[in-house]
A and B are shown apart, each in its own frame.
Chain A
Amino acid sequence: MHQTNMDDIQFNLLRNHANRSITWLDENLERFYPIVDPKDTSSLQAFSELSLLYVYLAEWKDEFSAFPSKKWMDFILKNIERPDFAQMARKRPSITFSFILPYLMMRSIGYRSEYYEDTLKFLDEWAFFRSIEVVPYRVLDLEFMYWKSGYREQDPNWIHLFNQTLLARCKDPLFLDDEAAYSITHTLFYLTDFGNHPLILSNMNSNRMTDIVECLLVHYLRVQNWDILGELLINLNVLSQQSPLYKEAAKGFLQAWNEDGSVPPKALFRKEKDDFWTCYHTTLVGMLFCGTAIKNNKLKKGVLS
């Protein structure tokens, strides 16, 4: 088959899966409503993750016809601007990041709120960054979100931040468990801004990272953990690596999609009537996979610069 036709088929397959997922997410949009409960921040996390996806989807919106950009933006902003939500970042400093993150995401695409800007200044005065205890990839997470939002004028020291993470330290993949795999996938998300900026590390480091990611890919494809597998595939998209292992894993991941567009986190997951909370995260991951795969392929073809 002619190369262009093959690319078109792949693009169409990815677009089709992504559009189905967008439809499922859109039908469940109100489920992302962030409940202000300091004892349970799970709905806040889902809302933050939706706002992150929104920012990248807004970049790729021409690829996905089903994406109701304005509706999702209105939903996110309506909740960010809710007084009970907005006040929490100042009222409960110990969980402030959960409440500030959606604003940082929306700030990255031009949204501004005087109230939140003041909150960010308060956080600086309180030395928020120096007052928390988190694992190294979460430090990178925090720095990335601030950088992405445009609030900081200077770039963080990416190499210093990377060097603290597990991905920089681990010698081989044998000891890596699920938590470690998530640490690795997130480190690569932030270092590359999901493919928006090239990896600033040496070729040797890049090859070593590809090796670790591909080794994990074999494991998570074998055990059919679609959530971690999807994140690893995003990593390989942004590292521009499409080996036979990648292709097999991508095929498996796309086959795991439910008909309604949701993506189950694991194999043998019994579909239930209400599976929103089980499937939402892997579905967001699936969307990011489709978006980064299309973007990477277009970059390779020279369609994008």
Chain B
Amino acid sequence: MRSYTTNIKRSETWLQNIVPQNDQEEKLKQLGILFCNRIINPADLQKEEPASPQYVLQHPTTLIRMNREDLFALAQKISLSEEDDFAILQEEKGVWGQTLGGLALSYARSGDLIMVITLIRAAACLKLDHPWLTLAIQYLLSQQHSDGSFGLLESESAFSGIELTQGIKLHITIEALWTISKLS
């Protein structure tokens, strides 16, 4: 298993140093620190007995032609469900890894970090492994700043004129840490 310790310690330092501007940012900060602790100390996690899956997902390749919103919603649903709520057919596991990994790389090409993060997380929740997912994870880690936060958004900010606030950075960093916590 890949170690994310250096990345996570950097993120934890960034989170410790930021001063929340409102209640929501304070909650996100605490959530981020919780993710960091869980990633660094996975033994602290309480392992639950796997439940029977409620949904069996099929036909992974049909995801490729889904529009962004629907794909994002499905990936979030998988991530937010109880562990093992979703299952996939054993014989389709390789194609699932290939499809979600390929899609993550496709969105990486477009610089859509949120989709990359969400797809990797869904794949992790489905316990998938594929070289394309590994490559997408490398891409995700390359999007971290030296201060520990995630998201290279300066060009969007300059183009749109929207100020890159601490809240935006916090939101993306928490999403990234949540994904890495699922990988650990």
Chain A residues with a Cβ under 8 A of chain B: 172-174, 177, 211, 214-215, 217-219, 221-224, 243-245, 247-249, 252
Residues B105 and A244 in contact, CB atoms below 8 Å apart:
no
Residues A223 and B61 in contact, CB atoms below 8 Å apart:
no
Interface positions of B from 67 to 107, Cβ below 8 Å from A: 95, 98-99, 102-103, 105-106
A218 contacts across to B, CB distance below 8 A = 64, 98-99, 102-103, 105-106
Chain B residues with a Cβ under 8 A of chain A: 60-62, 64-65, 95, 98-99, 102-103, 105-106, 108-109, 131-132, 135, 139
- Other 4 A-B pairs with CB < 8 A, given A217-B102, A247-B61: A215-B105, A222-B64, A222-B65, A248-B61
**Which of chain B's residues has its CB closest to A172's CB?**
B135
| Most chain B beta-carbon neighbours within 10 Å: one of A173, A211, A249 | A173
CB distance from A233 to the nearest CB of B (A): 14
A247 contacts across to B, CB distance below 8 A = 61
* Bound CA–CA A219/B132 (angstroms): 12
Q: If A174-B135, A245-B98 touch, does A222 touch B62 (CB 8 Å cutoff)?
A: no
**Which of chain A's residues has its CB closest to B106's CB?**
A219
Residues A245 and B105 in contact, CB atoms below 8 Å apart:
no
A223 contacts across to B, CB distance below 8 A = 106
B64 contacts across to A, CB distance below 8 A = 218, 221-222, 245, 248-249
Q: If A222-B64, A244-B95, A248-B64 touch, does A215 touch B108 (CB 8 Å cutoff)?
A: no
Q: If A174-B135, A218-B102, A219-B102 touch, does A245 touch B95 (CB 8 Å cutoff)?
A: yes
CB distance from A195 to the nearest CB of B (A): 24
Residues A248 and B103 in contact, CB atoms below 8 Å apart:
no
Main secondary structure of the interface of B (DSSP, over half): helix
User: Total contacts A to B, CB within 8 angstroms?
Assistant: 51
Q: If A174-B109, A245-B98 touch, does A221 touch B132 (CB 8 Å cutoff)?
A: no
Residues A222 and B103 in contact, CB atoms below 8 Å apart:
yes
A252 contacts across to B, CB distance below 8 A = 65
B62 contacts across to A, CB distance below 8 A = 248
Residues B105 and A214 in contact, CB atoms below 8 Å apart:
no
**Which of chain A's residues has its CB closest to B109's CB?**
A219
B102 contacts across to A, CB distance below 8 A = 214-215, 217-219, 245
Residues B65 and A221 in contact, CB atoms below 8 Å apart:
yes
A219 contacts across to B, CB distance below 8 A = 102, 105-106, 109
* Bound CA–CA A245/B102 (angstroms): 10
* Bound CA–CA A33/B13 (angstroms): 67
A-B contact pairs, 29 of them (CB 8 A): A172-B135, A174-B105, A174-B108, A174-B139, A211-B131, A214-B102, A215-B105, A215-B132, A217-B102, A218-B64, A218-B98, A218-B99, A218-B103, A218-B105, A219-B102, A219-B109, A221-B64, A222-B106, A223-B106, A243-B95, A244-B60, A244-B61, A244-B95, A245-B61, A245-B102, A247-B61, A248-B61, A248-B64, A248-B65
A214 contacts across to B, CB distance below 8 A = 98, 102
B135 contacts across to A, CB distance below 8 A = 172, 174
Nearest 8 interchain pairs by C-beta: A218-B102, A248-B61, A219-B106, A244-B95, A221-B64, A222-B106, A244-B61, A222-B64
B132 contacts across to A, CB distance below 8 A = 215
| Most chain A beta-carbon neighbours within 10 Å: one of B61, B98, B108 | B61
